[in-house]
Amino acid sequence: MRHINYTLKPAQIDNAKPAEKPYALTDGGGLIIEILPGGSKTWRYKYHLLGKREKVTIGAYPAIGIKAARDKHEELRALVEAGQSPAKAKQAQAVESRQAAERATAFRVFAQRWIDETLFYRSPTYRAQIVRWLDSYVYPEIGDMELGEVMPAHVLSILEKRLDTPTTADRVRVIIQQIYNFAIRKLLVTTNPATPLRGAVVVPPKTHAPHLTAKQLGEFWRVVDKQGGAHASTILASKLLCLTMVRKMELLRAKKAEFDLEAGVWDIPAERMKMKRVHRVMLSSQALELVRMLVHFSSGSDYLVPSIFRRETHMSEVTLNHFFKRMDFGVPRFSPHGFRGTAATVLREHGFGRDVVELLLAHAERDATVAAYSHVELNPERRRAMQFWADFVDRAAAGAEVIVLRA
């Protein structure tokens, strides 16, 4: 690499005055110092590489003096001689510095970024559940660790503390894995500490909520009113859940404004539905009576089934789950979801069409044309089905003879 005769003197640089437009003083070998209109002075290196003109900034004067600028210039010239671009090298270094800083970011900070950038389209309920799991199980263990410091052993420690709830433990593992997959795509880490632990938690196979026989259904209806210590709204909500065939959280988050008692309908907004479509529930006369009683007990709240302790929010899922666990009517581990299957079985066995029952369950119709037709044309059938189901429950509760269901 040939020697450069540098020409600038400190006095020349110090005495250079700003002009209306930037101008440069040449030092030699492509090293210049730009004098900007604001008075600042910046060292730059201009060079040719592969037939193209490029320029890279070395730094500001006088923070970088003449000797330091020339030493850096020699380094950059060596890169050009080797066929490498100083400008691109500087850009790559800046990226690496930024990524190094991000790798040093605490896990909880990056996890929030993952939530913001990848879960924005999810429902508030879904995001809130993810945050609860992170807050409860993950952050206490690795929340303050740097992203690149988390090892499989740390993740395993989190999982082993949740082995009593294997489904939750495996879901937590999946969340951590998704966060690190996102970090890998951002080039912040190269390995995922949760991936080796796939299968570390044995998740029991899913079982469908058991259906009730007519005898069991009648027994439930008789026992539910005898639950001493239960709040009236909990008992009423349990009955309404049975008569409306909705999912548990669709009822618990219901607001009174969604009900038209004169028309006998309940319109559940799309954002609360699993299929993200508005669902209309036809209310039987028995369901209407339950709604009216719940309206009375929920005075002062927007929710039909408010929390007993805080009227500004709805009753928690845990409250209803515990209520069902306490009840003994001959069906161990019966969950509220079992009402949907029980009602669907009764209606199908009594001649109601599959399309009617699927609409009552708010299941998705894959054919858009059929779906549109069904929602318009099957309202009378859906109302008749819901009244039939409520009357069936009344007969079962009274001990009247009914056709036995398949268990």
Is a pLDDT exceeding 90 seen at residue 291?
A: yes
Q: Tell me if 200 is assigned to some domain.
A: no
Q: Which of 56, 84, 102 is the last residue of a domain?
A: 102
In a domain, 181, yes or no: yes
HEC string of 96-147? Answer: HHHHHHHHCCEHHHHHHHHHHHHCCCCCHHHHHHHHHHHHHHHHHHHCCCEH
The domain that holds 90 is classified in CATH as: 3.30.160.390
- Indicate the SS3 state at residue 351: coil
- Give the mean pLDDT of the chain: 87
Q: Which of 80, 102, 124 is the last residue of a domain?
A: 102
Q: Residue 296 belongs to a domain with what CATH number?
A: 1.10.443.10
Dihedral Cα 13, 16, 18, 24, nearest 10 deg: -60
Distance CA 385, CA 388 (A): 5
Q: In this predicted structure, what is the pLDDT of residue 284?
A: 95
* 3-state class (DSSP) for residue 362: coil
Report the pLDDT averaged over residues 203-230: 80
182 in the same domain as 308: no
> What pLDDT is stored for residue 402 in this prediction?
52
Average pLDDT over residues 83-89: 86
Task: Please tell me whether residues 144 and 272 are part of one structural domain.
Answer: no
351 within a domain of the structure (yes/no): yes
Evaluate whether 189 touches 100 at the Cβ level (below 8 Å): no
Q: Are residues 162 and 227 in the same domain?
A: no
Are residues 167 and 55 part of one domain? no
Three-state DSSP state, 87: helix
Burial class (CB in 10 A: 0-12, 13-18, 19+), 217: buried
Same-domain check for residues 96 and 218: no
User: Is residue 384 a part of any domain in this protein?
Assistant: yes
Q: What is the DSSP letter of 303?
A: B
Q: What is the CATH number of the domain that holds 121?
A: 1.10.150.130
Residues 379 and 260 occupy one common structural domain: yes
Cβ atoms within 10 A of the Cβ of 209, count? 15
**Mean pLDDT, residues 156-180 taken together:** 93
In a domain, 193, yes or no: no
Residue 221 shares a structural domain with residue 362: yes
How many domains does the structure of the chain reveal? Answer: 3
Q: Do 258 and 350 fall into the same domain?
A: yes
Q: Taking 80 as the threshold, does the pLDDT of residue 384 lie above it?
A: yes
pLDDT band for position 273 (50/70/90)?
A: confident
Owning domain of residue 390: 214-398
Whether residue 362 is found in the same domain as residue 391: yes
pLDDT of residue 362: 85
* pLDDT tens, position by position, 321-344: 888 888 877 777 788 888 899 999
The yes-or-no verdict on residue 153 having pLDDT over 80 is yes
Is 250 part of any domain?
yes
With CA atoms as reference, report the closest residue to 378 among 354, 343, 346, 345: 354
Residue 254 has pLDDT above 80, yes or no: yes
- Same domain for 313 and 370, yes or no, is yes
Q: What SS3 class is residue 165?
A: coil
Question: Given pLDDT bands bounded at 50, 70 and 90, which one contains residue 71?
Answer: very high
Does position 239 have pLDDT exceeding 70, yes or no?
yes
Residues near 156 by Cβ (< 8 Å), separated by ≥ 6?
197, 200
Percent pLDDT > 90 in the chain is 54
pLDDT at 102: 64
Within a domain: 98: yes
Report the percent of the chain where pLDDT is more than 70.
91
Domain boundary among 75, 102, 129: 102
Report the C-alpha gap between 244 and 122 in whole angstroms.
Answer: 26
Local structure of residue 328 (DSSP, 8 states): -
Structure tokens at 31: 């090293």
State phi, psi for 46 to the nearest 5 degrees: -110, 135
Same domain for 132 and 72? no
- Report if residue 83 sits inside a domain: yes
Q: State the pairing for strand pair 31-35/41-49.
A: antiparallel
Q: What is the pLDDT of residues 88-122, one digit of tens each?
A: 888 877 777 776 666 668 899 999 999 999 998 88
Is the pLDDT score of 396 beyond 80?
yes
What is the predicted pLDDT for the residue at 177?
A: 97
Does residue 36 sit in the same domain as residue 140?
no
| pTM exceeds 0.85 | no
